[in-house]
Amino acid sequence: MFTGIITDIGRVLETRKSGDLTARIGTAYDIGNIEIGASIACDGVCLTVVALGQKPEPWFEVQISAESVSKTNLDTWQTGKRINLERALKVGDELGGHIVSGHVDGVAEVVRMQDEGDSTRVTLKAPDDLAKFIAPKGSVALNGTSLTVNDVEGAVFGINFIPHTKAVTTWGDVRTGDRVNLEIDTLARYVARLNEAG
């Protein structure tokens, strides 16, 4: 489990296709404190560490199944791309965002960006089948970042990014037309399911 509070911005050092996709990611994390088999959310996708190294900079490798690639934006990963990272939640850690599983539900598209004071309003379009799970003042995880929804109209919803969020995540890099990983709030999923059963 994760919280959607990004703790490092990693960098894709290389990708290799051999059955599954393997990605080597440079990080500021202390590699000595990461074990093989650990879970790290990479742009919101929970991935398993399969290798570690220190040179030329600290890095870890993850394997990504074809299923994960098909449901996320990981097909856009290229050498040098910056990605949001979060280590798995430990008992006793502060829950500053919301409960995030790292299981991406689909991909949203950035359709508009507009500066409002020091903040940036980002408007996104969700896949139609996920729109019912997104509500004003509810939570979503976008590229692994826990965010509050400002407004919703059909499948289109808006998020405001303050300067701090843009500085400590990759949201300062995002442009119109980008595809971003979307995980809906677990609570919203269960409420919708209960309503169907009722």
pTM, full prediction:
0.93
pLDDT band at 98 (very low <50, low <70, confident <90, very high): confident
Q: Are strands 106-116 and 119-125 parallel, antiparallel or unpaired?
A: antiparallel
Distances (CA, A) of 137 to 15, 128, 147, 152: 37, 19, 9, 10
> Is there a single domain that holds both residue 164 and residue 81?
no
Q: What is the DSSP letter of 68?
A: H
- Centroid of chain to Cα 3: 11
Q: Do 154 and 131 contact (CB within 8 A), yes or no?
A: yes
pLDDT in tens, 135-150: 999 999 999 999 999 9
The 3-state DSSP composition of the chain as helix, strand, coil percent (nearest 5) reads 20, 45, 35
Give the model confidence (pLDDT) of 7-20 as tens digits.
999 999 999 987 88
Least confident range from 2-6, 7-11, 121-125: namely 2-6
Number of domains comprising the chain? 2
Within 13 Å of residue 196, how many CA atoms lie on the same side as its CB? 8
The CATH number linked to 120 is 2.40.30.20
Verify that 70 and 148 share a domain, yes or no: no
Residue 94 maps to a domain:
no
The whole-number pLDDT of residue 92 equals 64
Q: Are residues 110 and 81 in the same domain?
A: no
Residue-number span of the structural domain to which 114 is assigned? 106-197
**Element of type H or E holding 60:** strand 59-64
